[in-house]
Amino acid sequence: MRARATFVCLVLAGLGLLPSTGCIVIGVDWGWPFGGSRVWTGPVTERIQIDAADFDGLETRTHNGSITFDGQTGTAEAHVTVTKKGGGLTMGDAEAALEAINVYLKAAGDNTLRIGWKWKGIKRSHWGARVSFDIKAPGDIRFDGQTHNGSIEISGVAGDVRVITHNGGVKVESADGKLHAKTHNGPVTATYAGDDITLVTHNGRVTADLSRCGAVSGHIRTHNGSVGVVVGEAASADLTCRTHNGSIRCNVPLNESLFSRRKLTGTIGTGEGNLDVVTHNGSVNIKKASG
């Protein structure tokens, strides 16, 4: 906080509004409004039961919080555990913010249930909220999860998955269906056995275990980070790998391959899929599954 105040003084001095030789630092909590709410409540947890037989897809939306989904087999039972915190100028104010967080479940069309939260009534400008969702539901439903500041972790799924966060890591274990996983700042890790994959990050490493895939198509990309892909004996794809600053390594047998320091093309297996692996600053490593 003192460093921030000193920076402000230097700026004012540079503008001729303060003498350059000194400054009075006032004890101000710069956490608000410049850096968000300054006081947070402890976490409060609630569990909501869901009848999964009533829907084929599930959407989850939050802004500051994590999302986890644990796919279940052999049951239509489902529930979501919500963990929430309120933020404000004082503890009393933060508790008021906590009381104003309204978690909802509503139909979102296409036989889909949406889980999210919103403010009750009018939100005070200095309030903050951190709301995370931990979901257990049948693994064969479609799942769409989005947060802005928080991690996403998905396991035990066999339906289509679409997950997006801006600041946070993404980890997905998926047996089938289309997989789309994206973050801006953070790593992406996927274990996948389907045929349609998109993994994207801007700042972070991408790791894809495709050892159980057959023909597979899609895009695996990062801008700043390395990419590692593991393929199995049944893999099939027209493969293209590119990097601008980094190396490319591949120990998988390729047909009709062309290789340079920055680009590799070739056919894995019968070439039924089309897989594009790209990084700008980092290395690409394509390797065979061990064992």
Q: How far apart are CA 255 and CA 267, in angstroms?
A: 5
Coil, helix or strand at residue 15: coil
Segment 127-177, tens digit of pLDDT: 999 999 999 999 999 999 999 999 999 999 999 999 999 999 999 999 999
> Residues 243, 220: contact at Cβ < 8 Å?
no
HSE-CB for 230 with a 13 A CA cutoff? 13
Q: What is the DSSP letter of 233?
A: T
Here the tokens at position 70 are 């644990």
pLDDT tens track for 24-38: 332 223 334 444 447
Side chain identity at residue 121, one-letter code: G
Identify which of 205, 252, 214 has the alpha carbon closest to the alpha carbon of residue 235: 214
Q: Where are the domains of the chain?
A: 1-30, 33-154, 187-291
Yes or no: say if 82 and 123 are a contact pair by the CB < 8 Å rule. no
Compute CA distances 190 → 6, 170, 175, whole Å. 45, 8, 11
What pLDDT tens digit does each residue of the chain (291 aa) get? 434 444 434 444 444 544 443 333 322 233 344 444 479 999 999 999 988 888 899 999 999 999 999 998 877 789 999 999 999 999 999 999 999 999 999 998 889 999 999 999 999 999 999 999 999 999 999 999 999 999 999 999 999 999 999 999 999 999 999 999 999 999 999 999 999 999 999 999 999 999 999 999 999 999 999 999 999 999 999 999 999 999 999 999 999 889 888 999 999 999 999 999 999 999 999 999 986
Query: Using an 8 Å Cβ cutoff, are 179 and 94 in contact?
Result: no
At residue 272's C-alpha, the angle toward residues 270 and 277, to 5°, is 100
Q: Is 161 exposed, middle or buried (0-12, 13-18, 19+ CB in 10 A)?
A: buried
